[in-house]
C-alpha cells in the first residue's frame, strides 16, 4: 500500500535562494505528522508543492501514490487544507462557505446538506450557521475552516498552525477533533511551533531548517536526544568554573548553560539528577529557586540547529 | 464536465453574493460608467458650436439672407443683438465673436460693389478662433449661392453613402457606451479577482480539484451579471434621454453581451495580475481613456494616420466600437464586416480568459 506522502529528493529554488534542498521523507497512512521549523525553513514550500500550488525544481512528491505534477487534481481531491489565515469568505455565512466548498470539491448533491449539518454539529457551530463569518471569533473561524476541510472527506488533512491565536478551551477542543481524525483513519500533516501541541498530537515530527531535514522522529525520541529533563536554578551569585565543571561531570548531564546567576542543566537517562545537582550547587552558593521541566521545542531546535526557532 | 459546470455556477453565485455585500463599491462600479457617459457628453455639448453675436446694422433682404446663412451653418450659436450689447458680451467673455452686417450691405450688393463684413474674434483659444475663420467664409459662400444663383455656377452634387446624416452626439454617444462598458467590466471583474488575493480566499479556489478555466469562467459570468445593471443604465440614457435609437435591436443586445464578456475577461486578467483593488481602480481608468481615444471613438480610425489605425486593430475596443456603430446606426466603420468584428471580439474573449487561467496557474502561490 502506498504511503500517504512520499517526498523523494525534493528541491525547490527561487533564483539563488534554495527553499528545499534534496529533501526526502515518508508519512505513513493514518499518521499525525508534524512539520516544525522557523520561517523560511521550507514548511510552506512543502505544503505548496503537495497541494500543487508550486512545482518542485527537482525530485518527486507523491500523495497516496499520485504524482502531484502529473495528477494535481486527483491529489487535491484527496487533500483537505486548513491554512493559517483560514481563507474563509468572511462576508458570507458559515453555511454558504460550506456549500461553496461542496460545489468546488464536487460533493454529491444528495449528501451535501447532511454532511454540512453533521460537520457544523461536530464543530459546534450549528446555531451560527446563518451568521456571517466576519462576526466569528478566531476559534470559531478555525473550527469552521476545519469543518470545511473535512467536508469532502479527504484522506489527507493539512493543518497550518491549527491552534495559533486560539484560546485554551478552543485549543483543547481542536486537539480532540484532530485526534478523532486519526481514529477515523485520516492522515494528518500539521505545522506547529508548540511542543506541547506536537507532543499531544503528533506520532512523528520532522524538524526543518533552511530547507534541510534536521531530524525526524517521535516527540519522545527527539526530547530524549536533547535531554529528558531541564533543571532551572537561580543562584544568588555567579557559579564558579569548578562548580560548572563538577556539574558537567555528572553522568547523564547533556548540556549546561549559565546566564546572570541562572543555571540550566539538561539531563537524560533513567537516573534522577536533581538531588545531586542541588547538593553540588548548595555546597558553593545560596539557591533562590529551582524547577524541573521537560525541554521545550526552542531548546531542542537550538540544540539541533544552533538557531532559535522563532527567528 | 458536470463538475466544471458546477464550479462555474458556484463561483459565479459566490462572486455575486460577495459583491452585493460590498454595496458602496458595487454601486460605484455601476454608476461610474454612467458618469463617463455624462462626462463625455458634456465635453461634446460644450465644444460643438461657437457662441456668436450678430449685429444687424442693415436689416434689408440681403442682410436677412446672410443672417440665415450664418444660422444654418451649424457652426455658431447665434445671438442677434445691438453693437453695445455685443461689446459687453465680448468683454464679459460670453461670446467668441461679433459679426456685424454693415449698414451699406444691401445697397452695396445691389450696386455690385464689394462689402466688408467686420468679424471681431476673441482669439484666446485657437480651436474656436479657427472655427470662426473657417465658418464665416463658408457662410458667405452659402449666402452668395442662394442670393445670386446665376453667378455661382459650380455646385457640389452630393451622393450620401448613408441613408441619413448622423450628428456628432449621436455618433460619439455610441462610442461612449463602449468606454462605459469597458470601465464597468474592468472595475467589476478586476476587483472581484483582486479581492480573492487580498482576503486570502484565493487559496480556497486554488486548492480545489477544479479546473482553473472553470473558476475563471465563473468569475466572468458573475461580473457580466453585475455589469448588466450598469450597461442597462448607460444604454437607457443613450436610447431614452439622448434619443439615439438602435437600427438593429437584436444585434445590440447580442453585441452588448459579447462586449461585456470581452471587457470583463480583461478585468479578470488585470485583477489576477495586480492582486490589489487599490491598483485595479486607477489602472482601469488609466487604461480605458487612451484606448478609447485611439479606437475610433470620434470617427473611423482609418481616416486617421496608418500607424494609429494599425495600433487600434491590436485591441478589442476598436472592434467593440465597430459592432456598436453597426447596431445603432448600421455603419461599417472598419475594413471588416460586422460578423468578422464580432468573431474577432469572441476570439479576444477566449484568449483573455485562457490567459487569465494560465496566470492563475502560474501565479498560484498566494
Run of H or E including A18: strand A17-27
Given a cut of 80, is residue B252 above it in pLDDT? yes
State yes or no: pLDDT of B48 exceeds 80.
no
B257-273 pLDDT, tens per residue? 999 999 999 999 999 99
* Interface contact A104-B365, CB threshold 8 A: no
More reliable by pLDDT, B306 or A27: A27
Whether pTM exceeds 0.80: no
- Domains of chain B in sequence order: 2-43+165-362 (no CATH), 49-147 (3.40.1710.10)
Q: Comparing C-alpha atoms, which of A169, A170, A230 is closest to residue A195?
A: A230
Chain A residues within an 8 Å CB radius of B15: none
Name chain B contacts of A131, Cβ cutoff 8 Å: none
The verdict on a CB contact (< 8 Å) between A101 and B6 is no
Q: How far is A214 from chain B (nearest CA, A)?
A: 26
Predicted confidence band of residue B105 (pLDDT cuts 50, 70, 90): very high
* Contact status, residue A56 vs residue A12, Cβ threshold 8 Å: yes
Any CB–CB contact under 8 A between B16 and chain A?
Answer: no
Query: Which residues in chain B have Cβ-Cβ distances shorter than 8 Å to A66?
Result: none
- What is the CATH class of A229-293? alpha beta
Q: How would residue A311 be classed by pLDDT, with cut points 50, 70 and 90?
A: very low
Residue B129 has pLDDT above 90, yes or no: no
Q: What is the rounded distance in angstroms from the CA atom of residue B114 to the CA atom of residue A273?
A: 128
Can you tell me whether residue A178 is helix, strand or coil? helix
Task: Give the distance from residue B267's alpha carbon to the nearest chain A alpha carbon, in angstroms.
Answer: 21
Tell which of A68, A104, A147 to mutate to test the B interface (max B CBs under 10 Å): A104
User: pLDDT digit string (tens) for A151-205?
Assistant: 999 999 999 888 877 778 778 888 888 898 888 889 999 988 777 788 889 999 9
CB burial class (10 A; 0-12, 13-18, 19+) of residue A305? buried
pLDDT digit string, tens, across residues A95-119: 999 999 999 999 998 999 999 999 9
Average pLDDT (B233-256) is 91
User: What is the CATH T-level fold of the domain A5-221, as seen in this structure?
Assistant: Rossmann fold (3.40.50)
Q: Please judge whether B18 and A104 are an interchain contact, meaning their C-beta atoms are less than 8 angstroms apart.
A: no
Q: Is B207 on the interface with A (CB under 8 A)?
A: yes
| Chain A environment of B366 (Cβ under 8 Å) | 53
Taking the C-alpha atoms of residue B188 and residue B337, their distance in angstroms, rounded to an integer, is 30
Does the pLDDT at position A267 exceed 60? yes
A100–B209 C-beta distance less than 8 A: no
pLDDT higher than threshold 70 for residue B363? no
Q: Which residues of A touch B209 (CB under 8 A)?
A: 73-74, 76-77, 104-106
**Residue B4 confidence (pLDDT) above 70:** yes
Mean predicted confidence (pLDDT) in A43-58: 89
Query: How confident is the model at residue A307, as a pLDDT?
Result: 65
Among the partner residues B14, B22, B203, nearest to A87 by beta-carbon distance:
B203
- Of A132-146, A246-260, B15-29, B234-248, the poorest mean pLDDT is in B15-29
A5-221 with A229-293: one CATH topology?
no
Model pLDDT, residue B285: 87
Instruction: Give the residue-averaged pLDDT of B297-304.
Output: 83
Q: Region A72-89: what's the mean pLDDT?
A: 90
Q: For testing the chain A interface, which of B20, B195, B201 should be mutated: the one with the most A CBs within 10 Å?
A: B201
Q: List pLDDT tens digits, range B274-290.
A: 999 899 989 998 988 88
**Percentage with pLDDT > 90 across chain B:** 51
Q: Where are the domains of chain A?
A: 5-221, 229-293
- Residue in chain A lying closest to B211 (CA): A73
Q: Which three cell numbers stand for residue A265?
A: 542543566
More confident residue, A308 or B89: B89
Average pLDDT score, chain B: 89
Compute the distance between CA of residue B340 and CA of residue B351 in angstroms, rounded to an integer. Answer: 16
Question: Choosing among B3, B5, B11, B14, which should be mutated to test the A contact, i.e. which has the most A CBs within 10 A?
Answer: B14
Calculate mean pLDDT across residues B144-163: 85
Q: Do B365 and A106 touch (CB under 8 A)?
A: no
pLDDT for residue B38: 81
Asked whether residue A13 carries a pLDDT value surpassing 70, the answer given is: yes
CA distance A204 to chain B (A): 25
Which pLDDT does position B35 carry in this prediction? 82
Q: Give the integer Cα–Cα distance in Å for B328 and B239.
A: 10
pLDDT at A309 > cutoff 60: no
Assembly ipTM: 0.78
The pLDDT of residue A277 is 87
Amino acid at each position: 500500500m502506498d504511503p500517504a506522502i512520499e517526498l523523494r529528493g525534493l528541491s525547490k529554488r527561487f533564483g539563488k535562494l534554495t527553499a528545499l534542498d534534496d529533501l526526502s521523507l515518508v508519512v505513513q497512512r493514518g499518521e499525525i505528522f508534524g512539520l516544525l521549523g522557523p520561517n523560511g525553513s521550507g514548511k510552506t514550500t512543502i505544503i505548496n508543492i503537495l497541494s500543487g500550488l508550486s512545482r518542485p525544481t527537482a525530485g518527486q512528491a507523491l500523495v497516496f501514490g499520485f504524482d502531484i505534477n502529473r495528477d494535481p487534481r486527483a491529489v487535491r481531491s484527496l487533500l483537505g487544507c486548513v491554512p493559517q489565515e483560514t481563507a474563509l469568505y468572511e462576508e458570507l455565512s458559515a453555511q454558504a462557505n460550506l456549500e461553496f466548498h461542496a460545489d468546488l470539491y464536487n460533493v454529491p448533491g444528495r449528501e451535501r446538506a447532511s454532511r454540512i449539518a453533521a460537520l457544523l454539529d461536530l464543530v459546534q457551530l450549528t446555531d451560527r450557521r446563518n451568521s456571517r463569518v466576519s462576526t466569528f471569533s478566531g476559534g470559531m473561524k478555525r473550527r469552521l475552516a476545519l469543518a470545511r476541510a473535512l467536508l469532502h472527506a479527504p484522506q489527507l488533512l493539512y493543518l497550518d498552525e491549527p491552534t495559533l491565536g486560539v484560546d485554551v478551551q478552543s485549543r483543547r477542543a481542536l486537539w480532540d477533533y484532530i485526534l478523532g481524525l486519526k481514529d477515523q483513519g485520516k492522515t494528518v500533516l500539521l505545522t506547529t511551533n508548540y511542543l506541547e501541541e506536537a507532543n499531544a498530537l503528533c506520532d512523528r515530527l520532522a524538524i526543518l531548517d533552511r530547507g534541510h531535514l534536521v531530524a525526524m522522529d517521535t516527540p519522545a525520541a527527539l526530547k530524549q536526544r536533547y535531554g529528558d529533563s531541564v533543571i532551572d536554578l537561580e543562584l544568588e551569585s555567579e557559579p564558579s568554573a569548578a562548580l560548572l565543571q563538577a556539574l558537567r561531570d555528572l553522568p547523564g548531564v547533556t548540556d549546561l548553560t549559565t546566564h546572570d546567576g541562572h543555571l540550566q542543566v539538561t539531563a537524560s537517562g533513567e537516573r534522577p539528577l536533581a538531588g545531586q545537582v542541588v547538593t553540588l550547587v548548595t555546597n558553593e552558593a545560596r539557591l533562590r529557586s529551582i524547577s524541573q521541566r521537560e525541554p521545550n521545542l526552542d531548546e531542542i531546535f537550538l540544540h539541533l540547529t544552533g538557531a532559535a526557532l522563532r527567528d | 464536465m458536470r463538475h466544471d459546470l458546477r464550479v462555474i455556477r458556484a463561483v459565479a453565485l459566490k462572486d455575486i453574493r460577495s459583491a452585493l455585500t460590498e454595496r458602496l463599491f458595487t454601486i460605484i462600479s455601476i454608476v461610474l460608467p454612467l458618469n463617463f457617459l455624462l462626462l463625455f457628453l458634456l465635453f461634446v455639448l460644450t465644444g460643438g458650436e461657437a457662441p456668436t453675436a450678430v449685429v444687424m446694422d442693415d436689416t434689408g433682404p440681403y442682410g436677412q439672407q446672410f443672417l440665415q446663412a450664418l444660422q444654418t451653418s451649424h457652426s455658431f450659436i447665434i445671438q442677434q443683438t445691438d453693437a453695445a450689447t455685443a461689446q459687453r458680451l465680448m468683454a464679459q467673455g460670453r461670446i467668441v465673436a461679433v459679426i456685424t452686417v454693415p449698414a451699406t450691405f444691401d445697397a452695396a450688393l445691389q450696386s455690385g460693389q464689394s462689402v466688408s463684413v467686420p468679424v471681431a474674434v476673441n482669439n484666446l483659444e485657437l480651436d474656436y478662433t479657427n472655427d470662426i475663420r473657417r465658418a464665416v467664409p463658408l457662410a458667405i459662400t452659402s449666402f452668395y449661392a442662394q442670393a445670386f444663383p446665376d453667378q455661382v455656377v459650380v455646385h457640389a452634387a452630393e451622393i450620401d453613402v448613408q441613408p441619413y446624416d448622423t450628428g456628432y452626439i449621436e455618433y460619439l454617444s455610441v462610442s461612449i457606451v463602449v468606454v462605459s462598458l469597458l470601465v464597468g467590466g474592468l472595475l467589476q471583474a478586476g476587483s472581484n479577482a483582486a479581492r480573492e488575493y487580498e482576503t486570502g480566499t484565493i487559496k480556497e479556489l486554488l486548492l480545489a480539484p477544479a479546473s482553473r478555466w472553470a473558476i475563471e469562467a465563473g468569475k466572468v459570468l458573475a461580473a457580466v451579471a453585475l455589469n448588466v445593471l450598469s450597461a442597462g443604465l448607460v444604454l437607457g440614457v443613450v436610447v431614452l434621454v439622448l434619443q439615439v435609437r438602435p437600427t438593429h435591436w437584436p444585434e445590440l443586445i447580442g453585441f452588448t453581451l459579447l462586449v461585456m464578456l470581452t471587457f470583463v475577461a480583461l478585468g479578470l486578467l488585470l485583477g489576477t495580475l495586480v492582486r490589489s483593488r487599490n491598483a485595479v481602480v486607477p489602472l482601469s481608468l488609466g487604461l480605458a481613456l487612451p484606448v478609447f481615444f485611439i479606437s475610433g471613438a470620434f470617427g473611423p480610425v482609418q481616416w486617421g494616420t496608418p500607424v494609429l489605425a494599425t495600433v487600434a486593430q491590436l485591441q478589442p475596443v476598436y472592434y467593440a466600437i465597430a459592432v456598436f456603430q453597426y447596431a445603432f446606426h448600421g455603419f461599417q466603420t472598419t475594413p471588416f464586416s460586422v460578423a468578422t468584428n464580432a468573431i474577432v471580439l469572441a476570439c479576444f474573449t477566449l484568449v483573455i480568459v485562457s490567459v487569465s487561467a494560465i496566470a492563475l496557474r502560474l501565479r498560484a502561490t498566494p
